Structure 1
Amino acid sequence: MAGHPIPYFSNDAGHATISVGVKEFMCCGANPPHDHPHVFLDMGDEPEIVCGYCSTLYRYDASLKPNETVPAGCLFVEAA
């Protein structure tokens, strides 16, 4: 999803919690072909949200840039 204004995050390693620097994003579970339907998640005023498909807990961290995650490596980058 290169150049897309909404970041996509994946969780190949099966982390229980991923901290992100945005409150609106897409979760795709694991990288294809093991992904789930790509779902839009919006935390609104809340500090965290759980993906209904993969149960990953996403936690907002204002110190992170929109394309950063903790643990690192959870930004989904589509293969060329």
Structure 2
Amino acid sequence: MASHSTPHFHNQPGVETVRVGAKEFMCVGALPPCDHPHIFIDMGDDNEAICPYCSTHYVYDASLHGGCEPPECRFEPALETTNATA
């Protein structure tokens, strides 16, 4: 299975803001099966973005180096697929 180079984030915990260490990423909303269409978000020159589907507020934080805070908001599609078939 191909790995994803674009980070994926969700807001299953329902936090007010998810800090992310990438300006280009995918938002999946909540964890499957309650996710929304996985959409690409590009902050460009801005340091924040709001998902048009789930209204999650994402704020860029370079110190996270591609990760996120809270860390449980990172989504690994390959792990979800593996767990679903196990």
Q: Is the pair's TM-score, using the shorter chain for normalization, greater than 0.5?
A: yes
SS in 2 for 1:18: strand
TM-score, structure 2 length as denominator?
0.86
Q: Distance in 2 between matches of 1:11 and 1:47?
A: 18
Corresponding position of 1:48: 48
Corresponding position of 2:23: 23
Corresponding position of 1:62: 62
| 1:71 positional shift | 1.3
Q: Distance in 2 between matches of 1:19 and 1:2?
A: 26
Give the number of the structure whose alpha-carbon radius of gyration is greater. 2
Relative to structure 1, the CA distance from residue 2 to residue 11 in structure 2 (aligned partners, 3 Å threshold; closer, same or farther) is farther
State the number of aligned residues: 79
SS in 1 for 2:62: coil
Q: Distance in 1 between matches of 2:27 and 2:51?
A: 7
Question: What percentage of aligned pairs have identical amino acids?
Answer: 54
Q: Distance in 2 between matches of 1:51 and 1:75?
A: 15
Q: Give the residue type in structure 2 aligned to 1:12.
A: Q
Note the residue ranges of structure 2 that are not aligned, 5 or more in a row: none
Q: Distance in 1 between matches of 2:36 and 2:25?
A: 15
What is the RMSD of the two structures over their aligned residues, measured on CA atoms?
1.4
8 A contact 1:2–1:77 mirrored in 2: no
SS in 2 for 1:45: coil
Answer 1 or 2: which has greater helix percent: 2
